[in-house]
Amino acid sequence: MRRPILLRQTVATYPVEPVADDAWLAIAFRAFARLAERGRVRDVLILGTGNGLDALAALEIFDPDALTVTDLFEECLSVARENVLAHLEDGATTEIDFVAGDLLTAVPPTTRVDLVYENLPNIPTTPEVELERGVNTGRFFDATGLDVPERFDAHRLALHWRCLRDAWAHVRPGGGVLTALGGRVPVEVALELHRERGYDPELVAFDVKLQSEPALVLPGYGVAEEATGIEFTFYASEAVEIVAAARASGLDGEDLRGAVSPELARLAISAREAERRLESGQDVAHSVLLIHGRKPG
């Protein structure tokens, strides 16, 4: 951001990481910038904004004509609305709408955009999880009634599948969906997720960050490994510095991933191994994928 931002938060909003380098949004903003360099992005739809910081970045980086901001809970959306409107620059002309609802259910059917940005949770909720708590909303979702191909459901990509399906009607030809995904699954599976829904995917930003809230996240993936036989991918914490050094040379996206893949393979561990490392006081990491799926046309 070009200027200081003061965000209001509540228990219902996902907390801001105290160190920017540990944050998802730092990686998402790099993806925003790469897309903005390629051409004008006239309208943006952000799903699950939380505190609204991603919306403020979209305004700054894309300077769109229109911005639609959503969140599942009205309490979150009201905070996001306050944060966004409080930081609009003088003379801003972007038309901004805020709608509360599950994914795109509250978005007017006539809405058409050049870009949908989504950073959705991956772990199906259990009865004891309070989804209204921001840290939980960022990790868990209610899987009731979701009909998803087994391959993507097993890899904990069900909500992304539904989002890509429902976004198709709202994306203009030539526009696309930008998916932010904790890359604990094979990159090819994440790309295939987009292809199955008709998009042409590209990895536009890549990084490795320390796993935040590991005690909250790791058990869900450990249970999934036992249930599905799939082994999810985490990394020893040294992976963070390896990727940062390679990125400092100017690489990003698929070029960066390709450059560091041999060293990352050496540091890869399963969810269960990550849990054991956590119990011994060691940090663990995971990759972050920003995949832009372009709608042909």
Q: What is the DSSP string of 13-78?
A: SPPPPSSGGG-HHHHHHHHHHHHHHHS---EEEEES-TTSHHHHHHHHHH--SEEEEEESSHHHHH
The verdict on residue 159 lying in a domain is yes
Asked if 114 and 172 touch (Cβ cutoff 8 Å), the reply is yes
Q: Judge contact between 219 and 295, C-beta under 8 A.
A: no
Q: Which helix (H) or strand (E) holds 5?
A: none
CATH code, 42? 3.40.50.150
DSSP, collapsed to helix, strand or coil, labels residue 212 as coil
Q: Tokens 């805020």 label which residue?
A: 98
Asked whether residue 73 is assigned to any structural domain, the reply reads: yes
Q: Which amino acid is at 237?
A: S
The reported pLDDT for the residue numbered 140 is 64
Domain that holds residue 136: 20-210+286-294
Burial class (CB in 10 A: 0-12, 13-18, 19+), 211: buried
Alpha carbons 233 and 205: distance in angstroms, whole number? 18
- Cα–Cα dist 234/168, whole Å: 31
What pLDDT was estimated at residue 4?
86
Q: Which residues contact 291 (CB under 8 A, 6 or more apart)?
A: 178, 179, 181, 190, 191, 194, 201, 202, 203, 204
Would 165 be classed as within a structural domain? Answer: yes
pLDDT of residue 126: 64
From the list 281, 279, 285, the residue with the least C-alpha distance to 263 is 285
Q: What local confidence, expressed as pLDDT, does residue 136 receive?
A: 60
**Mean pLDDT, 10 residues at a time, the chain of 297 residues:** 83 78 87 97 96 95 97 90 93 94 94 96 70 66 79 92 96 98 94 97 97 89 92 97 97 98 98 96 97 97
Distance of CA 234 to the CA centre of its chain: 17
| Count: domains in the chain | 1
Residues 224, 76: Cα–Cα separation, whole Å: 29
Query: What pTM value is reported for the model?
Result: 0.94
Q: CA 15, 292, 260, 157 torsion: positive or negative?
A: positive
How much is the pLDDT for 127?
Answer: 63
Would residue 261 count as lying in a domain?
no
**9 in a structural domain:** no
List residues bridging with 181 in a β-sheet. 289
Residue 218's alpha-carbon distances to 5, 137, 212, in angstroms, are 32, 16, 10
* Angstrom distances, CA of residue 33 to CA of 56, 134, 167, 247, 259: 13, 27, 22, 15, 21
- Predicted local confidence at residue 129, as pLDDT: 65
Q: How many CB atoms lie within 10 A of CB 150?
A: 8
Q: Name the β-bridge partners of 24.
A: none
Kindly state whether residue 278 falls inside one of the protein's structural domains: no
Whether the CB-CB separation of 296 and 194 falls below 8 Å is answered with no
Written as one string, the DSSP assignment of 86-140 is HTPPTT---EEEEEESSTTTTS-TT--EEEEEE----EEP-TT--TTSHHHHTTE
Establish if 96 belongs to a structural domain.
Answer: yes
Residue 83 belongs to a domain = yes
